[in-house]
Amino acid sequence: MTTDAYFDMRNLASPMRKVSGCPVSGCSALLEKASSQWGAMPYCPVHRIRIHAKSFVYYDGPDKASKRNAALRNILFERDYFKEHILGNAAKAETHRICHETSEDALTWNVFSRLARGELLSKLLSTFTCRSLKNEPELYLWGLKVCLHDSSAPTLFPALKCARDVFEKGITKFLTEPDVMLYVPGRFLILIEAKFTSGNTIASATPDVTNEKPKSREGILKRYAPTLLPNDALLAQSSSVPFYSQLYRNLVFAIYMAKKLDVRWGLVNIVCKGQYHPRLEFQDPTKFIHELLPEKSREQFLFYSWERLYAEHVAKATKLKDLAEYMCNKTAYRTKALAAEIQTKDS
């Protein structure tokens, strides 16, 4: 077994079989114990994975170097760049979760870095904007500029820093961090909120905490006030239930930054159909967003899916065979992650 072993549908045991030991097909290793924030958990010393009730985590050991190595096992594309510039970067929150089978950051990195290497982001952006584009957009992941042909450290998107200074002054941790931004100077700025096994965050009745992002509807509307945006860009209130707090913040940031850059804004919510759940946070948020926007700009929001991205931009691209295999075989909770329709089309 190599030190960077990665596991998916091609080497995990059948999901129909109840797994009481290591989920890797054919493994009969005697399990040990490994530390975690939840206490000691079962651990396979042969495949170096910590086994949770429904999923697994790459685990090479408790020391810092081992944790970094474990995280990198979930990164299949542009691993050297990720290791050098993203993993452990203070500007990127929660990189320690990259080692989880269900990490949406790992999925986001693998897909978008591979599209960038293949110079296919312009086609994806054309889908998002319904506009023809020839040149590749600038790619920002979690606010950091990802330039795969440049060995220098990635910089924070200047307009994002400005937006944070305006809307999040006094907040000391977990600042608004768009998962993906695609920027074409003079034309477009598209923010993407990517989800994998979780749904869109909903405002709660929890009292807001000083120096943290508000979680209540009232606190969110007060801090991320429409009055700080161009006139009529965003309606003052929304009676929609639920109130999708994370999407609202991204919408405010998209409008503010686009105005500052003098470009057209867009907001895309990418979800995984294969992980759908009837809970409210998994519902289509289009109605909520449309209630916030004047009719003229409603088309600038798009509810999208990883399955649709695969069907429209990966499946038929010969140069992306490796990405197609990754997406088709990606797992979540030890079963096929994306909806079965990924093999053919997105309904």
Quick one: pLDDT at residue 17?
55
Q: Rounded to the nearest 5°, which phi and psi values hold at 179?
A: -60, -45
- Euclidean distance between CA atoms 81 and 69, whole angstroms: 14
Mean pLDDT of 217-236: 89
Quick one: pLDDT at residue 14?
76
- Euclidean distance between CA atoms 262 and 189, whole angstroms: 9
Cβ count within 10 A of residue 89:
17
Cβ count within 10 A of residue 239:
7
- CB of 296 within 8 A of CB of 66? no
Over the stretch 84-101, which tens digit does the pLDDT of each residue have?
A: 999 989 888 777 789 999
- Euclidean distance between CA atoms 286 and 14, whole angstroms: 36
Q: If you count them, how many residues does the chain have?
A: 347
Over the stretch 105-123, which tens digit does the pLDDT of each residue have?
A: 999 999 999 999 999 999 9
Confidence of residue 206 (pLDDT cuts 50, 70, 90): confident
Q: Mark out the alpha helices in 227-343 (DSSP H runs).
A: 245-261, 286-292, 306-309, 321-329
Quick one: pLDDT at residue 94?
73
Cβ count within 10 A of residue 342:
25
Give yes or no for residue 196 having a pLDDT over 70.
yes
Mean pLDDT of 337-347: 63
Mean pLDDT of 17-25: 78
Q: What is the pTM of this model?
A: 0.95
Confidence of residue 345 (pLDDT cuts 50, 70, 90): very low
The SS3 call for residue 244 is strand
Quick one: pLDDT at residue 134?
87
Confidence of residue 346 (pLDDT cuts 50, 70, 90): very low
Name every residue whose Cβ is closer than 8 Å to that of residue 298 and which is 6 or more positions away in sequence.
Answer: 289, 290
CA dihedral (21, 26, 30, 36) positive or negative: negative
Give yes or no for residue 319 having a pLDDT over 80.
yes
Over the stretch 30-74, which tens digit does the pLDDT of each residue have?
A: 999 998 989 999 999 999 999 998 999 999 999 999 999 999 999
